[in-house]
Chain A
Amino acid sequence: MISYYLDLALRSLKRNKVLTALMVLAIAVGIGTSMTTLTVMHVLSGDPIPQKSADLFRVGLNVFPDDNFRPGDKVPDNLTRRDAEALLRDARADRQAMMSAGTMVVTPAQGDPLSLEARYTTADFFAMFAVPFRFGHGWDRGDDGHHARVAVISAALNDQLFGGRDSTGSMLQVGGQSLRIVGVLDDWSMNPRFYDLSNGRFGDSEQVFVPLATALDLHLATSGTMNCWGNVPDEHAADAPCLWLQYWAELDAPSTRRAYRQYLQNYMAQQRQAGRFTHPGQIRLLDVMQWLDAKGVVPSDVRLQVWLALGFLGICLLNTVGLLLAKFLRRSGEISVRRALGASRRAIFMQCLVEAGVVGLAGGVCGLALAGLGLVLVRHQPTDYAGLIRMDPSMLLATFVLALLSSLLAGLLPAWRAMHVAPAVALKSN
C-alpha cells in the first residue's frame, strides 16, 4: 500500500513543480540552519573524556577568612597551595593531581627561543586523564617529592625540536636550567580543555608538562586566575593566601565518593578549629560534565544561534503547513472520488502523510547540503573552536529524523483536513 501512496505522492508533487520546490526549499533552509547550529552545539557540549567523566571530580573549598567571606558566594574554583598540598599529601582519592597553567621559554639547540604553553602538575595527572604516550612515560610521585628536573613534551614539540625521534633522555633548556625529557605524548587534545578552562577553552593541549614543585623551584611563570587576599609578597609561597591551583580527584566508586566528601568536610572542620575562619565553610565536588555545565563552556553566542535557528525552522514549518493545506484542499475533488470509490479516511490520511514525508525527505537531503555549507562557514570563523566542528554520523541521522519528523508534523493538520472532506459536497460543487 505504501508503495502505491508513494507513487501517488510523486505524481502529485510532479504536477505542481513550483509549489513542491517552494516547500522543499523552505524545509531545507530551516533544517540546514538548525542542523548547522545544533552540530556546533553538539560538538561544544560533548563529553571530552567519556570513559572517565563520571569518575573525575573538580575539588573546590571555600576557605576565605571571615572578612572576605560573604554567605551565598560561590565556592571558588581554585585552591590555595596550602590546601592543595594538604589534600595531595593525604591522597584519599584513587588518584589526584594539583596543577596550574604557565608559560616557559625553551632555548632549542638551534634557532630562536620558543615561548611555550606549559602545565605544572603532579604525577597522577597522566593516568587520571588517560593521557597517551608515544615514548617514555610520566614522572612518578617520588619525582614530585624531590623536585626532579624532568619534563614531558607534546608530540608536536617533539616533532619540532627532535624531528619526531624518541627524545626521552634528551635535555630541554629552560632559562639557565635543563630538564630531562622522560616522556613524549601521543597526539592528545581535550576539547574543551576541561581540567583548566581559564586559559582558552578549546584548542591544542599544552606543549610541556613539568612537576609543579620543579616549576616553583625554577620560578617559571604561571598563568590563569590568581585570586589573593591580604598582603602578598610572593603569590606562589607555600602559605600565600592565594587561590590559583586546580585540583582534580579521581573517585571510581560511589562509596569512595561518599568517603571523599566526608573527608573534605572533616578537613574543613579541622581548618575551622585551627582558626582560619569561623564560618561553616563550603565544599564543592563536581564531576566533569557538571563542571563544564557550571562553567557555561558553550559560548552564549552559540546558544543564541541555536534558538534563532529553531525559531526559523518553526517559521519554515508553519509555511509548509500552509502550503500543504492549500495543496491537499485543492485536490478535494480527487480525494472525494477516492472516498466515493471506497477509500477509508485512514487511507486518505496516510496518503497525505506519505506525500508530506516525501517532501520532508527531499528537504532533509537539501538541508544536509546546506548544513554542510554552513559548517564550512563555521570552520572559517576565527573562533577557538572552529577547527573542531565536524558533522558526525549521529548528527547526520538526526538531520533526517528532524526533517522527516518536522514534515510529518507539518503534514498532520492538512492531512486531517483532507480526510474530512465531505465527498458528496465536493463532488457536487465540481
Chain B
Amino acid sequence: MQIQPIVAALRRHRLATLLIAMEIALACAVLCNAFFLVAQRMEMIHTNSGIDERSLAVLSVNGFEPSQAADVNARMLAGLQAIPGVQSATLINQVPFGPQRAAAGVTHDPGGYKKLIGVVDFVLGGPGTFKALGLKLVEGRLPQADDYQPAVSFVPNDAQVLVTRALAEHAWPGESPLGKDFWCDKFHFRVIGVVDHFARAQPHQYDMAQAEWTVFTPTAPGGSLSGTYLLRARPQDVQRVLRDAKAAVAKIAPDVVLDQEDSKTLGDLRTDYFETDRIMIGLLLGVVVLMLGVTALGIVGLTSFWVGQRRRTIGVRRALGATRGDILRYFQTENLLIVTIGITLGMLLAYLLNAVLMKFYELPHLPLYYLPIGALALWGLGQLAVLGPALRASHVPPVVATRSV
C-alpha cells in the first residue's frame, strides 16, 4: 500500500482533514482525562476504612445535658448489649464515613504552631471499641485499662494513643513511632501502637495521602465520649440488630432523641458517602460514550461524503485493476493517518487539560500510560467508523468509470 497518493488526496481536502483531526484531538484529550478522573474516583470509593464494616453499625442519640452523660451511657450500653445478636456495644465518637466530631492540627512541639504535623482526626473509643472495630495492630501494644483517660474537653489532656501507619510515616519518616510525643496545643499524646489502616470520618475532604491521618485515642466514657454507640454483630444480623436497637432506644432512655440520620450500618454509611462519586463516574462514562458516538458519526458522515465525491475516481482505479481490498485499505489507511494526526495533537491537549484540572482540583499528573490506551481506543473507533463507508466504496463497480456524471 502506498501512502503517497493518500497524502496527496488529503492535501486537497486540508480543511476537512483538519476538522476530523481536531475532533479526534479534542476527543483524545477529554477521553484520557475523563478516564483518569474515573480511576481517581474508583480509588476513592475503595478507600480502605481498616475496620470490619460488614459487622458494624453506629447508633447516635442526643438531647441530654452533659451532666446526664454518664447515666445515659450506662443505660444505653446495658440496654444495647441486651439486644439479641449484639456481640458488643461500645462507645465511640466518630466512625469512617460518618460525621466528623474531632479533628485538630497537631504539632511536634507543645503549644505552638511551629512544627506542624497536620490536621488529624481523633477517634475516641471506650474500653472494647478497638477490638470491636477490628483494627489491625501492626506495631506496639493494645490500650490497657489505665490508658482510658476521661476527656474533659474534646480529647483527654494526656493520652496514650495509636496512630495509623500512614500518619506515622508522615510524622516520623524512617523512625519507629513508638514512644513518640505530639501535641495539640496543650494536649499531649504519646504513641503506644500503630494500626495498619483506619480512615478518618470524611476522608474525601482531604488529600488522598491524608485520608488515613487518624489517631485512636483510648478514652474513659463520659464528657465528649457519649451518645454515639458502636454495635457489632454477625454480618447477616447487622441490619436487624440496628433496627431493633433503634426501636429499643425509646424504652432504654425515653429522655433522649434518636438521631435517625446518623444511625446507620457502616455499609450504608459508606454507600451514602460515596453516592456522589458513583454518580460522577456514571456521568463521566456517559459523556465519554456519547462523545465517542458523536465522533464516530462525524467520521462516518465525512467519509461517506468523500466516498460519494470520489465514486468516479474509485471506478477508474477499479477499471485499472485495483481490487476491492485495495479500495477498502485505501480508506482505512486514510482514516488511520487522520486519526494519528489527531492523536498526536490530542496527547498535547490532554496534558494541557490535565494541567488546567490540576490547577483547580487536587489531582495528580496524568500517568503516561493513559495516552497509549486513549490512542488505541481512538484508532479502534476510527477503523470501526470508517468500515461502513469504506466497504461501500469497495463495492463501487468499475463500470462507473465509463459513465459521465
Contact = CB atoms under 8 A, between A and B. Distances in A.
Interface stretch (A133-141, A162-170, A224-232, A395-403): A224-232
A301 B44 CA distance: 14
Q: Which of B30, B34, B112 has the most CB of A within 10 A?
A: B30
Interface stretch (A149-157, A186-194, A207-215, A322-330): A322-330
Interface in B259-287: 259, 272, 275-276, 279-280, 283-284, 287
A308 B30 contact: yes
Given A26-B297, A312-B291, A315-B30, A322 B185 contact: no
Nearest to A414: B15
Contact of A67 (B34, B111, B276, B405): B111
Given A33-B290, A230-B186, A381-B276, A321 B257 contact: no
A30 B30 CA distance: 14
A394 interface: no
Interface residues of A, number: 54
B23 to A, nearest CB: 4
Interface in A23-61: 25-26, 29-30, 33
B287 A33 contact: yes
A26 B302 CA distance: 14
Contact of A232 (B27, B153, B283): B153
Given A175-B65, A330-B305, A319 B16 contact: no
Given A308-B34, A322-B16, A322-B302, A113 B257 contact: yes
A288 B186 CA distance: 37
A314 interface: yes
Contact of A311 (B26, B275, B361, B405): B26
Contact of B295 (A19, A175, A229, A319): A319
A71 B30 CA distance: 40
Interface in A199-245: 219, 221, 228-233, 235
A265 interface: no
Interface in A279-315: 300-301, 303-305, 307-309, 311-312, 314-315
B19 A322 contact: yes
Given A326-B16, A381-B276, A315 B284 contact: no
Contact of A430 (B19, B255, B405): B405
Interface in B283-307: 283-284, 287, 290-291, 294-295, 297-298, 301-302, 305-306
A356 interface: no
B113 A67 contact: yes
B364 interface: no
B360 interface: yes
A383 interface: yes
Contacts of A231: 185-186
A13 B186 CA distance: 77
Interface in B38-77: 62-63, 65-66
Contact of A381 (B29, B279, B284): B279
Given A303-B360, A330-B308, A221 B62 contact: yes
B22 interface: yes
Nearest to A318: B23
Contact of B360 (A112, A300, A319): A300
B284 A308 contact: yes
A26 B295 CA distance: 9
Contacts of B27: 315
A230 B405 CA distance: 92
Interface in A327-352: 327, 330
Contacts of B284: 308
A318 B26 contact: yes
Contact of B30 (A115, A300, A311, A330): A311
B334 to A, nearest CB: 15
Given A68-B113, A330-B309, A323 B30 contact: no
B64 to A, nearest CB: 8
Contacts of A312: 30, 287, 290-291
A311 B357 CA distance: 13
Contacts of B257: 105, 112-115
A325 B22 CA distance: 15
B163 interface: no
B15 A105 contact: no
Given A231-B186, A304-B37, A304-B361, 10 more contacts: A22-B297, A33-B287, A221-B62, A300-B360, A315-B291, A318-B26, A319-B298, A319-B301, A321-B19, A381-B279
9 contacts: A25-B297, A67-B113, A113-B257, A115-B62, A219-B65, A232-B153, A315-B291, A319-B295, A319-B298
Interface of A: 19, 22, 25-26, 29-30, 33, 67-68, 70, 103, 105, 112-115, 175, 219, 221, 228-233, 235, 300-301, 303-305, 307-309, 311-312, 314-316, 318-319, 321-323, 325-327, 330, 381-383, 413, 417, 430
